[in-house]
């Protein structure tokens, strides 16, 4: 039964990763905790394997398609290792209830961002609405005029450290944060940012996993392996699904799913802190 749950959950994670280009890995920790009966520390460690392997496969596919700037990804990823190591070290010392509460807060944030994006797109698509550029528009936010004027090296250091710390502490890929970071810090074209982000996530996940190796309780590697293999395979099907089903519909469904899991996680984690 445990393996069947791992396979089903892995398929869901892979489909969302393949169809939406990210986000699915944030479901790995709740799946490992509440469906596969892992502790928070075990789940965040196992999640790094799911995230790292799936990102590596995705990065290889994106590189073959010519959508990866490998040098930029390697530089950003290597700089992010410091944050990943610090985040992984911190997660080992944080009580598991706090770890789950922090993860629930992250899921609520991501779900809220996805829901806001959907509402914003619907408003823009409404023929009665005349879209006007705002400071929230990504084209303006990441343009040289509005971007931070600090040296690029400092921007890379700050954004990469934050991205790495998030991956190391909570065991998530952080693709929702890596792509904007690459746009801001390295001024990458959007068509390369998503593929290059997979290189960054692979590096930071490997660094965080190396720190966690041998510390704390090891996850159930059989369940993690089943989750990882199914997720990687389903990612291919997810990419094909995106061609047949509107991306907006998929994003809306995923936003509802993330918010639902976030509320459930918070309901389980917060009372334990009180």
At residue 86, the pLDDT reads 92
Which residue ranges in the chain fall short of pLDDT 70?
A: 1-2, 17-25, 121-150, 173-176, 214, 216-217, 238-248, 250, 272-274
Which pLDDT value is given to residue 131?
A: 43
Closest CA to 27 of 187, 207, 230: 230
Cα radius of gyration (the chain): 18
Q: Check if the beta carbon of residue 54 is closer than 8 Å to that of residue 228.
A: yes
Cβ atoms of 25 and 220 closer than 8 Å: no
Residue 81: predicted pLDDT:
93
pLDDT at 74: 93
Q: Which of 37, 66, 170 is nearest to 110 (CA)?
A: 170
Give the residue from 62, 32, 55, 25 showing the smallest Cα distance to 200. Answer: 55
The pTM assigned to this predicted structure is 0.74
Cα–Cα distance between 167 and 161 in angstroms, integer? 10
Taking the C-alpha atoms of residue 45 and residue 61, their distance in angstroms, rounded to an integer, is: 25
- In this structure, the dihedral spanned by the alpha carbons of residues 271, 261, 218 and 222, taken in order and rounded to 10 degrees, is 140
pLDDT at residue number 1: 67
Confirm if 139 and 146 have CB atoms less than 8 A apart.
no
What's the chain's length in residues? 274
């Amino acid at each position: 039964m445990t393996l069947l749950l791992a396979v089903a959950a892995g398929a869901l994670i892979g489909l969302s990763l393949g169809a939406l280009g990210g986000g699915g890995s944030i479901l790995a920790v709740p799946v490992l905790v509440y469906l596969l009966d892992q502790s928070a520390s075990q789940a965040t460690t196992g999640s790094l394997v799911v995230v790292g392997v799936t990102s590596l496969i995705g990065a290889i596919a994106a590189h073959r398609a010519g959508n990866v700037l490998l040098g930029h990804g390697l530089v950003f990823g290597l700089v992010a290792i410091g944050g990943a190591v610090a985040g992984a070290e911190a997660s080992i010392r944080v009580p598991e209830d706090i770890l789950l509460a922090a993860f629930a807060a992250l899921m609520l944030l991501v779900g809220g961002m996805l829901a806001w994006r959907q509402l914003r797109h619907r408003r823009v698509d409404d023929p009665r609405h005349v879209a006007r550029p705002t400071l929230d528009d990504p084209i303006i936010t990441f343009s040289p005029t509005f971007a931070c004027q600090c040296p690029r090296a400092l921007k890379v250091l700050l954004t990469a450290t934050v991205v790495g710390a998030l991956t190391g502490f909570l065991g998530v890929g952080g693709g929702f944060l890596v792509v904007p970071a690459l746009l801001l810090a390295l001024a990458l074209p959007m068509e390369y940012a998503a593929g290059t982000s997979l290189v960054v996530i692979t590096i930071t996940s490997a660094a965080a996993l190396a720190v966690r190796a041998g510390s704390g309780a090891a996850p159930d590697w059989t369940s993690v392996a089943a989750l990882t293999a199914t997720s990687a395979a389903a990612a291919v099907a997810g990419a094909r699904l995106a061609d047949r089903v509107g991306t907006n519909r998929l994003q809306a469904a995923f936003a509802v799913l993330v918010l639902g899991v976030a509320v459930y996680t918070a309901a389980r984690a917060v009372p334990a802190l009180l």
